Amino acid sequence: MCDTSRAVYEKKLRQHRTINGYRLCRAYARLSAQRKTGGTALIFAEFFMKGTVFTEVWDLYDENRNLTGKDHIRGEELPDGFYHTVVHIWIRNSKGLYLISQRSADRPKFPLMWECVGGSVLKGENSLHGALREVKEEVGVDLDSDNGKIVFSMKRKTVNGEKFNDFTDVWLFEYDGEVSLEKATENEVAQVKWFSREQIKELYYKKQFVPTLNYFFERADIF
């Protein structure tokens, strides 16, 4: 990355450091650059500023999911007509159990509720890269990209009256390895467990499961 681009993004991130209180020890500013050959290269700028509050930078898309070239800072209101990409990652083992995680107590939304891994895709990432990163960050697992697939995607403008404006890709990965939160790179998860579909449904009915994941039961044929 050239010094000018790095300085611009450092300044932009610092200017928004207190937005919504979302703490990140590592803020990724992923910029896309065109090589002379016309191919696209991803330049990764990682800012290690311990104890500093940063937010995420997202790519923005139009309503047809075309990349607009515009950026968005997490925490600001999404402009009308623009969308960002979100990934939900369901991890299933050979016994038919799903890895779910309990959100930490200090999460601003749905604290201590259970969910699958998920989050926003960062600037310069594609859906797969975002999914793999989120899993590593939240539950410390390095998934094999060959063992996953998008089972469906949805466009969300509002959810329960709240503006979302996102394209959500729902991933399903097969995984039989170990899980250790000590390997997670963020402190977003209190604990993880392998649960059956019925056990997850029980959590949902007890209002202990994030309600926006209700599609897991409504579209059971694809999981």
Q: pLDDT at position 55, please?
A: 74
* One domain for residues 48 and 110: no
Report the number of distinct structural domains present in the chain.
2
Structure tokens at 125: 């990432």
Q: 116 with 206, same domain?
A: yes
- 172: DSSP letter: E
Q: Which residues of 201-217 are buried (b: 16+ CB within 10 A; e: fewer)?
A: eebbeeeebbebbeebe
User: What is the chain's pLDDT, residue by residue, as a tens digit (223 residues)?
Assistant: 445 445 555 555 554 443 333 333 333 333 333 333 333 333 333 343 334 445 799 999 999 999 999 999 999 999 999 999 999 999 999 999 999 999 999 999 999 999 999 999 999 999 999 999 999 999 999 999 999 999 999 999 999 899 999 999 999 999 999 999 999 999 999 999 999 999 999 999 999 999 999 999 999 899 9
Residue 69, domain member (yes or no): no
**Domain shared by 112 and 206, yes or no:** yes
For residue 130, the surrounding DSSP H or E stretch is helix 127-139
CB-hemisphere CA count at 13 Å for 157? 5
Phi, psi angle pair for 114, to nearest 5°: -95, 155
**Residue 151 falls within a domain, yes or no?**
yes
Q: Please report whether residue 63 resides in a domain.
A: no
Residues 102 and 199 in one domain: yes
Provide the pLDDT for residue 11: 55
Same domain for 41 and 105, yes or no, is no
Residue 6: partners with Cβ closer than 8 Å, 6 or more residues away: 45
Judge whether 149 lies within some domain. Answer: yes
Range of the domain at 160: 79-222
The dihedral through the CA atoms of 219, 189, 57, 122 has a sign that is negative
Please tell me the predicted confidence (pLDDT) of residue 186. 92
Same domain, 147 and 188: yes
Using DSSP's 3-state secondary structure scheme, residue 103 falls into strand
Residue 132 phi, psi (nearest 5): -65, -40
pTM of the model: 0.79
